[in-house]
Structure formats: structure tokens, C-alpha cells
Structure 1
């Protein structure tokens, strides 16, 4: 009887110990679950921090791009110099702007500017008797655009504005810069921008638009401005392109030799 009682007491004690151990394990599980929940929160916080840093990085990159653009714009600013208060001594990138301004009447809008250019090219208002455009052999220019392409190099800067010079530059080699299409030869704004950037180190949207307008107006019926794919393209009539091909790099109108 005594042995049985002892055995029961030991079993009860053992059960109590096991229960205590189970309780400890439960507590440990609760602790681990709590720690796991805390770790998940920390991971979520880290993900949020990572996203915030990514956004900040993108913003910083945009700011760097903006600063680069501003630096490029500042570097494109002309070198202006003037001697005293005499505006005629004003030079911009070593070009005597003041003297040119003083010798020419103020210009109006694009239409007035083109009309003035056409008048001067046609000989109605020559710059001076000593600077008349020499006659050239070959076909007679049919458009103002051909006349500015045929203009002698020594008169280009004097007679043409910067954007007119840019339009002339593109027109001289339009076959090289354009692509063939059923309607004629086509040059896109992107191509024009690359040409202007390479030749004049400028490709601002306003500059491209201005040059495009000059090509359209000076080319008259032989140059069309067409909307295509949310962009404007210039279409040159093939006959005009062939005529422009006949003006060599010396800016004189010459006929192509027979093949």
C-alpha cells in the first residue's frame, strides 16, 4: 500500500513538472510570436524606408538633370561685350551686333522679316552698290530659299539672321538630311535638331520651329509643313531639291554635269 502511494505521488509530481514545462513552452511560443511580429513590423518599416529612399534618389536625379540643363543653357549664353555707352560697339560672340542694329531698321514679325529678306534678295533694297550679289550662270532661282542658298558666303552673315542662316544650311544639303517619300523629300524635327546641334550647337525647340517656318515660307509652294504622328515634318518638292543640288559649296548657281 505504501509503495502504491509513493508511485502515485511520483506520477502526480511528474505530471506537475510536465505541466510546468508545457506552460513554459507556451510562454516561449508567445514570446517568439511576439518577437516574430516585431520583426515583421521592422521589415515593413525597412521596405517603406527603402521606397522613400528610392523616391528621394529619383528626385535627386531629376534635380541633377535640371541642374545639367541649366548649366548647358548658361554655357549657351552669348559672350556680350560693349565698349562704354556706345551701343554700336556692342558685340555678341564677337559679332558686331550694335553696328548691324544701327545699320538696319527694326524687324517685325516673321512675315515682315521674310518680306524684307525677299525684297533685299530680289534687289529692291540692295545693301550697297559695292555689295551687290554677283550674277551667276545657271538656272534662275525660282524661290527665295534658292536665292539665299545662292547668296555669296561673304554676304550671308550680313544679309541673314541666325535662323535664316540655319535654314540656308539645311536647304543646301537637304538631300543628305532628308528621306525619300512619295510626296518628295521629308525632314523630321528630330533630324533637324541633330543637324542644328552639330552645326550650330543649338537645338532648342523654338529654334527648330523658327527654322522650320523659314524653310516653309521661303520655299513657297515647293515646301510644305505637314502634321504627322503628333509632329510637324517638312516636305520638299523633288523638283526644288534637284534645283538646290545645283548650287555648289561656293554658293554659286552651277549646273550639274551630265552623267
Structure 2
């Protein structure tokens, strides 16, 4: 406690030194808060910049995914269109087979002549084509169907026997190239496999296995004479 010399009254408040010290403390606190505020603003700016960069990166990734998705859709559409053309070709060949068989039956005069392989309804189109000379009959076969016949004719040689039937997991493109002498792309080999599935009425199936990839399979038992069936034969 201090005494005012002019008035002789004791002062009850803080001295100038104390006030000065408190003022300095307050100033230091203000400076510290301002520094902290600047740091927070700096971090906020960095966070905003990072968010902006992330947003642009996501936008670019989304654009790439959309582009990839569109490309995949186009590939699927082309594959569907290709398969549609194959089925149309197969339907046309089957019609030609029916016409050839009808003409063959008519030329027999309806007598008791023995039934030929071409007149047996239990044969699939691929079996009927395999047993005849398409050049002599005038049947117009596409390259995919001709390659399907090549696979069928070499089926016992190329495929492997399993407890459930037969499976062909080997390099189909190379096998077809050896058999036909053609330089084929994979899509051409796949079209031949699809044509074989259609012409065999599903007795030989073309599947995309989870572990083994694309393969041709047939189950037990059998096409007439050679054993082709419809159940799956994977190992």
C-alpha cells in the first residue's frame, strides 16, 4: 500500500510499475493469439488448397472412368453385334442344310433307300456340316463357321478328357492357325468358338472360367458316334 505525497492519502490501486507489467503481459498474450491466428489461417489455406487439388484429381479420375466405361460399353456392343452376325450366319447355314437335305430326300424318290447321315434329325448342325462336303452342296459358310468346323473336327485331338467330359484350355488361336494356316487375331478365334457353341446346340460350350479363363467344354455322354454333350466339363 502506498501514500500519495500531495494529499497524504494512501493509494489502494496498483503502482505504475505493476500496471506496466500487466500491460506487457496482455500485449504478449495478444501477440501470441495473433501468431496462433495466423498459423490457423495458414493451415486453413493449406487445407483449402489440398481440397481444391483433391477435387480436381477426383474430377480427372471420374472423367477417365467415364471414358473407360464408354469404351467398355462400345466393346460390349461390338461383341454383341458380332455375336448377332454369327447367329444370323448360323441360321442361314442351317436353312441351307435343311434345303440340301430336302433336295437329297426328294431325289431318293421316297423309296426304301437307307437313311444317310445328312438325313438324321439327331445330328447337330456342326455334325451335319462336318460329315458333308460344303463345296459340293453349295452351302455358303463364313470364315467363323469354317473355323468352328475345324475345332470340331480336331476336338478329340485338341481337348483333354476329364472325369466330367472334355475341355479345351489350350491356345485356341495357335491350334486354329496350325489347322487352317491362317494368321488369326484372338477375336477371330473367339468368334469361331462362339459359332461352335451355336452349331453344336450348346453341347460344346464356350465359357469364361474364373480361374482358367476362356475355354471350350463338353460333358458326358455324347454326340452320335463321337460323344458330345451339353453338361459342363471343367477340372
- Report the TM range for the smaller structure's normalisation: 0.3 to 0.5
TM-score (norm 2): 0.48
Greater C-alpha radius of gyration: 2
